[in-house]
Structure 1
Amino acid sequence: MPRPQVKRALVIKLRHHGDVLLASPVIAELAEQYPNAEIDALVYHDTREMLSLHPGLAQLHTIGRDWRTLNPLAQLKRWWPLFQTLKARRYDLIVNLTDHWHGARLARWLKPALSVAPKAQRDSKWADRAWKKSFTHLFPIPRGNTRHTVEMHLDALRRIGIQPVKKELGFVAGEAADASVAQKLAAAGVEANRFILIHPTSRWLFKTWPVAHMAALIDALTARGEQVVLSAAPAKAEMDWVAQLNAALTRPVALDLSGQLNLKELGALIASARAFVGVDSVPMHLAAAQQTPTVALFGPSGNIEWGPWQVPHRLLTADFPCRPCGQDGCGGGKVSDCLAAIAPTSVLAALDELLAEVPR
């Protein structure tokens, strides 16, 4: 179809933190190609920091994940002001990047000239017809681990005649986060752009490398004089994992900031690192957004679909015929053999190879 005219657009991404960050190229692309347009976004409230301060955004709207658990009157009290705000924006384009019904409802209620969403497998013929009638255009979703998530998001624009050019992730930590992290590094005697940042955990621990393997890698780095900084989310499971890691080390890391940073500060910390080492997780995507060279370990999840985007990187997997399976560990046992099969020496070699390519 011909390239559309866009004056005001709404991008909807109701998923987890990493998914929201990987939707940022859609916002950047619309802002780049339509410099006089206003681009808004709608996300869950807890994921807002992935897009707040984005230079391409005019307004950032949010909804609560818990709204669906409220009684009908309480839901209406929350939805009605938001709907009134969105209606007043008079969008001529809605880009819905998930199969969530909220996007379909908003496309029907707000009535933009153009609306695009993924083709979705609904649970009945009625639901399938309702989904299709909610949007003017649908774009196909290829089978898992055959196309990167960023490209799938950008397919929404391709479907309506907008050909992407830059395809860049966008994340802004902000001055307050930058200053906070700089103070923490200085207090520990850690020099910015000289340290290796390791974020060893994920909210899903079946994506996490064994403690013994990570300890061996960190010991090898500190033995040769590298400054290593640790980070992790404040969730109890991740903090317990980091406690096991610290107990297994032969010497302490230069700085352990596990559980001490918000998302903006984590992004600032990653931007200050010489390199990032981690697993398939939000911090890995933040590293890509901040253009921090990345070593990423992948087990059950799809590395083609979720790997580091447009950043110098090394991606390590084990040659298991069953991966990527997407399962919660082998047999649902929370431990992924395909991750355990990646040797610490292989990760160290990949990191050294990457650092040799990237100037300090």
Structure 2
Amino acid sequence: MLKDAIDLAAVKRVLVIKLRHHGDVLLTSPVFSVLKQHAPHAELDALVYHDTRDMITQHPAVSRVFTIDRQWKKLGMFGQLKAELALLARLRGRHYDLVVHLTEHKRGAWLTRLLKPRWAVARSGNYGKLFAKSFSHRYPVVAGNRRHTVELHLDALRRIGIQPGPDERALTLVPGANAEAVAGARLTALGLEPQRYILIHPTSRWLFKTWPVQHMASLIDALTARGEQVLLTAAPDPAELAMLEQIQQKLARPVASLAGQLTLKELAAVIDQARLFVGMDSVPMHMAAALQTPTVALFGPSGDIEWGPWKVPHRVLTEPLSCRPCGRDGCGGGKVSECLTLIGSERVLAAIDDVLAEVGA
């Protein structure tokens, strides 16, 4: 038995802090589900960066989502201080009993000290005395691509006495009625029917994690040659849109595209209606897993055990090189990852067929 387990009956409000990228925030969603299952009386709040909020808003277990806008830095010293103090006042007004801090970000340590919860849990590690003394509980992190990020997040709850059940660990992402309506209209305009198209998201915010343009074009041509409907998506980032343009120029037959045209919630709704998702290690891949859309994912420098599709029918394609996953921005820093370029389009096509056969789609 854990000697310093917390008393969940005494926990009325919880703040979960995750100041990272979109995918990282989405992978915290089981933390809220598990907390609500084990402490149904408690109100659960989230603190995330403003641009990542759509990954957690409308989660049925989340009461409030507070955000830190990275654009506050542009307000000048006094403008930023005013915004920070206003956030702190709102957080203090919630009177948290428990803070769950899911990164090593020192802002979480400062906030925990200022909010003064009865209990606070954060990861172990050499992050300095301020960090170490800010939390009542600390949990070890298993590094080296040996444990999925979802489980690493849930280790914070295990450390305070909550043991998640196997059926409590699914991702949760809610597109919302407005996004679903917009997505439906856009799909209809393109002549695409729900559960009939394959959605391919060829890009990532880090382009060294993407498959070569010619490989992707070859895969799309193989799919359209046999009559599959393909829809392309990408973020509205100039580099990602340029990559989409290069792919489209190499296609033997044109395919539908909503690249750069969707909000995150609308993208979620479009992924939710897809027959299959194909993409890289990216936010949309995690969104597909959360929405239970069968997935084929290509992994190069990043760790597939740590970041792979979570609890969804899927195939992960990697190249068995001794150096991967290295986490580097291409081989030798050259922005091109050989562990991706060596994956042939025929392997990806076979993986697509395997998943579709598995789910009977």
Smaller-chain TM-score bracket: over 0.9
Identity among equivalent positions (%) equals 60
Letter in 2 for 1:138: R
Partner of 2:25: 20
Which of 175, 196, 199 is equivalent to 1:197?
Answer: 199
Partner of 1:295: 296
CA contact (8 A) 2:6 2:119 kept: no
Q: Aligned partners of 1:214 and 1:98: how far apart in 2?
A: 35
Q: Aligned partners of 1:69 and 1:133: how far apart in 2?
A: 32
CA contact (8 A) 1:4 1:162 kept: no
Partner of 2:63: 58
Which of 114, 129, 133 is equivalent to 2:119?
Answer: 114
Which of 222, 236, 250 is equivalent to 1:234?
Answer: 236
Which of 160, 183, 187 is equivalent to 2:185?
Answer: 183
Q: Aligned partners of 1:188 and 1:107: how far apart in 2?
A: 49
Which shows bigger deviation, 136-145 or 284-293? 136-145
Partner of 1:317: 318
Letter in 2 for 1:26: V
Q: Aligned partners of 1:120 and 1:67: how far apart in 2?
A: 29
Q: Deviations over 1:11-66 (max 9, x none)?
A: 00000000000011111111122111100000001111111111111111001124
Q: Deviations over 1:200-253 (max 9, x none)?
A: 000100000001111111000000000000000010000000000000000011
Letter in 1 for 2:99: I
Q: Aligned partners of 1:63 and 1:80: how far apart in 2?
A: 11
**Moved >3 Å (runs of 4+):** 66-72
Partner of 2:7: 4
What secondary structure does 1:219 align onto? helix
TM-score (norm 1): 0.96
How far is the alpha carbon of 1:3 from its aligned partner?
5.0
Alpha-carbon RMSD across the aligned residues, in angstroms, is 1.1
Letter in 2 for 1:211: V
What secondary structure does 2:360 align onto? coil
Q: Deviations over 1:167-201 (max 9, x none)?
A: 11111000111111111111121110011000000
Q: Aligned partners of 2:74 and 2:321: how far apart in 1?
A: 41
Partner of 2:37: 32
Letter in 1 for 2:90: T
TM-score (norm 2): 0.96
Q: Aligned partners of 1:57 and 1:225: how far apart in 2?
A: 42
Which ranges of structure 1 fall in alignment gaps of 5 or more residues? 123-127
What secondary structure does 2:133 align onto? helix
Partner of 2:216: 214
Partner of 1:134: 134
Which ranges of structure 2 fall in alignment gaps of 5 or more residues? none
How far is the alpha carbon of 1:68 from its aligned partner?
5.2
What secondary structure does 1:304 align onto? helix
Partner of 2:359: 358
1:286 aligns with 2:308: no
Letter in 1 for 2:317: L
Q: Aligned partners of 1:147 and 1:68: how far apart in 2?
A: 35
Q: Aligned partners of 2:86 and 2:36: how far apart in 1?
A: 26
CA contact (8 A) 1:231 1:259 kept: yes
Which shows bigger deviation, 155-164 or 63-72? 63-72
Which shows bigger deviation, 66-75 or 158-167? 66-75
CA contact (8 A) 1:13 1:42 kept: yes
CA contact (8 A) 1:40 1:60 kept: yes
Q: Aligned partners of 1:84 and 1:133: how far apart in 2?
A: 23
